[in-house]
Amino acid sequence: METLNNPNIRDFNQIVIKIGSSLLVGESNQLQTEWLDSVCDDIAEMHKRGQSVIIVTSGAISAGIESLGLYKKDLRLEEKQAAAAAGQMKLTQSYQSSLDRHKLNVAQVLLTRGDTEDRRRYLNSRETLKALLRLNAIPLINENDTVATEEIRFGDNDQLAAYVAVMMNADLCILLSDVDGLYTKDPSSFNDAKHVAKVYNIDEEHFLMAGATRSKHGTGGMQTKLLAAEICMNSGCNVVITNGKIRNPITLLDQKKISTWFLTNAESKKARKKWILSNYIYGNRVIIGKSTADALQNGCSLLPKDILDVEGSFRRGDTVEIVSNKETVLGKGLSAFGSEDIKLIMGHESGKIEKILGFKGRSEIIHIDDLVIDCKS
């Protein structure tokens, strides 16, 4: 897949963004509002392009420390939980205030690890997040630290972001950090440390490269980011770790800013396609002709000019059925465009997409890597 060799933020449909506490809350426990505004500007631009965005944020405890005046070094568990309760409200208000400038709504969702492990809670959480995205809201997720115990002591939001990415079948998870990505050694201690630009398979050598965090507030570090990347890659989701200390860090990724990309391989693609098969369709379909059906079965992607009709209402990144001549279900795939946009561009060549829609999207409606043919529905 070309995207995986030369990844570009614009090529992805469903994106989870993890924002670390060391970025969001400075050493003085003050929320970095100007920096947050720049990130929300990036998110608004992604939303404008039709990309679905979910935020996983840290920083509730750190923000609450300031509100409650808990400045001592070693906080008891109940004090951390109290700080989380105060700080979560402060965090949500800050995100909403920033996204208000773009007329976007934030919806707070608090999860614990149990919500991703218990099947019923997992499905309920997933459907809630899907509903929020359909309603054009930006889900803002954090661990429910006021009721969690083990999560505060041992958990980290890198892995929470990974579990959310898997839950939502995201194709990209962005881990904004205070480092440029993975190095062969700790760059602050070794002058000969070399940056690792791309990783296609995480192994023990990569974990040996990873060092412990030096952040005052964070509980993560490169090791937990590697664990998160491994979780994502095993389910077909790509990951990028990049330094978020600068303004507009996501936009700068498109300008080849230094970062480490963890890119999926053939085995993870198989896992992704199994996931696509398991998705419920909600009556969403794209109708094609026989010649297009033959082309898809021979390994082609589905292009705008191939679409004859659209049924249902869906967003970019949703699963749809591909139906030949309104009768034969040929397969399922993840649509790179919402139903309303497809209605505008169907029958047209891919080169006309930007002129018709006003933004440059993918050239395919469904890329071959997001397409499963001959499935039994």
Could you tell me the residue ranges of all domains in the chain? 2-269, 279-373
Alpha carbon of 83 to those of 75, 94, 150, 213: distances in Å?
10, 16, 16, 22
Is there a common fold for 2-269 and 279-373?
Answer: no
Tens of each residue's pLDDT in the chain, 377 residues: 344 567 889 889 999 999 988 888 877 667 899 999 999 999 999 999 999 999 999 888 888 887 888 877 788 888 888 888 888 888 999 999 999 999 999 999 998 777 776 666 877 888 899 899 999 999 999 887 666 655 444 357 898 999 999 889 899 999 998 888 999 988 878 888 899 999 998 888 888 887 644 344 444 578 889 989 988 988 889 999 999 999 999 999 877 778 999 998 766 667 777 778 767 777 899 999 999 999 999 889 999 999 999 999 998 888 899 999 777 889 999 898 999 999 999 999 999 999 999 987 789 999 888 899 864 44
**Which residue bears the tokens 């997409």?**
353
Burial class (CB in 10 A: 0-12, 13-18, 19+), 149: middle
DSSP string computed for 132-194: HHHTTEEEEEEE-TTT-SHHHHH--HHHHHHHHHHHTT-SEEEEEESS-SEESS-TTT-TT--
Residue 15: HSE in the Cβ half-sphere, 13 Å Cα cutoff = 25
Gap between the Cα atoms of 247 and 20, Å rounded:
15
**Which residue bears the tokens 């391989």?**
265
Strands 137-143, 105-111: pairing is: parallel
In 3-state terms the chain splits into helix, strand, coil percentages (rounded to 5) of 45, 20, 35
Q: Report, at the CATH architecture level, how domain 279-373 is classified.
A: Roll (2.30)
**Residue 72, helix vs strand vs coil:** coil
Task: Name the CATH topology of 2-269.
Answer: Carbamate kinase (3.40.1160)
